[in-house]
Amino acid sequence: MNRIVNVPLCGAVVLALTACGGGGGDGSTAISPVAGPVAITTDSAPTVSGAVVNATVGLQDISDFVGAGTIGTSASQHKTAALSTYAQVQAEFNDTVACTSGGSFSVSAQLQDPATLTVGDSIASTFASCSEFGTVLDGAFSFVIDRLVGTANDILRGRFALGASVIVNNFSITFDGETTTANGDFQFDIDTTAFDISLLELSGNVFSIDDATDTLTMSNFAVESTDETSSGAYTLKSSGTVDSAALQGSVSYVTVQTFVGFGDDFPYAGELQITGAGGSTINLIAVSSADVRLEIDSDGDGAVDDIVDTTWADITG
């Protein structure tokens, strides 16, 4: 779903193994409370739906960079390539790496054993106009490992299970002339120990994503997904609440039929129910990887009042 090449947390893990520095990162920037529910109408349904989809995709994009994996891409291949690069560069640059096209990437860590990773280890990464693969990174994130299956070599090979709590502080990604900035915290668990399959879970209390068009604040959110490396097939389900500054209100959402898709495409099947003020709802139904149907109940009586047939591209802007 419009994925972009990642610079994962796992690179920070390899750096930390060979250059153990001082403490963890600062807390994330304060996030405003989520606003009250907004009423859903036929006119607002495409915009509301877009806010939910963009928030979920935005979280996934951020999680790519801080190590939670990918949806609809070859997670293991991306990780292996990036990790090999960082391992080679680290021998020369210690705990600060010069990024390929300018800027830098720094890491500090508190490790119980410098030779390996252990549950309880904390690592903080800071990006200063770091330009890699056509993407510029700024800001910081830190994490504490709370689950680990595998060694550093297993991580390099893309066969590991890792859980961590992450704090993101003014972390921005500029790609193709557009900048997205994130703040907040989330828990992630990624498992790539099974052949050809990556399993991913993200969850958190509050997380905000800000770009040129809107500020989206997610609360009490959860994302579960799988990615088949060989075919690019993925599954995705999510739930939570999202507040949109553009809408001046919030909606809740839950997957009622798991979304499925391939590669970078939007899902070709699956269904999400979005609920606003007064029980008003949208049932967002994937018709194909290009088209989507919105079944709208604007008065909350449980009956469909209107149907809007549109495209993924239109609702996500």
Q: Are strands 215-228 and 233-244 parallel, antiparallel or unpaired?
A: antiparallel
The pLDDT of 308-315, averaged and rounded, is 97
Residues 6 or more apart in contact with residue 268 via CB below 8 angstroms: 260, 261, 262, 286, 287, 288, 289
Q: Over the stretch 221-240, which tens digit does the pLDDT of each residue have? A: 999 999 998 999 999 999 99
Q: What is the mean pLDDT of residues 89-100?
A: 59
User: 104-110 and 306-311: which strand pairing?
Assistant: unpaired
Supply the angle between the helices 75-93 and 9-18 in degrees, to the nearest 10.
30
Q: CA of 43: how far to CAs of 24, 282, 284, in Å?
A: 46, 12, 15
- Rounded to an integer, what distance in angstroms lies between the CA atom of residue 147 and that of residue 286? 35
Partners of 165 in beta bridges: 144, 187
Task: Give pLDDT, residue 31.
Answer: 59
**What are the counts of helices (DSSP H) followed by strands (DSSP E) for the chain?**
5, 14
Q: Specify the DSSP class assigned to residue 91.
A: H
* pLDDT for residue 117: 74
Q: What is the CA radius of gyration of the chain?
A: 20
Does the pTM exceed 0.85? no
Residue 165 has pLDDT above 80, yes or no: yes
Q: What is the pLDDT of residues 115-156, one digit of tens each?
A: 667 898 888 889 999 998 888 989 998 889 899 998 877 877
Instruction: Tell me the pLDDT tens digit for each residue of 173-206.
Output: 898 898 989 999 999 888 999 999 989 999 999 9
List pLDDT tens digits, range 5-58.
333 344 444 444 434 333 444 455 555 556 789 999 999 999 999 999 999 988
Taking the domains of the chain in order of start, what are their residue ranges? 9-39+46-250
The mean-pLDDT minimum among 64-68, 112-116, 199-203 falls in: 64-68
Q: What is the mean pLDDT of residues 100-116?
A: 82
Residues 6+ apart with CB under 8 A from 302: none
pLDDT tens by residue, 270-292: 999 999 999 999 999 999 999 99
d(CA 34, CA 46): 21
Q: Work out the pLDDT band at 77, boundaries 50, 70, 90.
A: very low
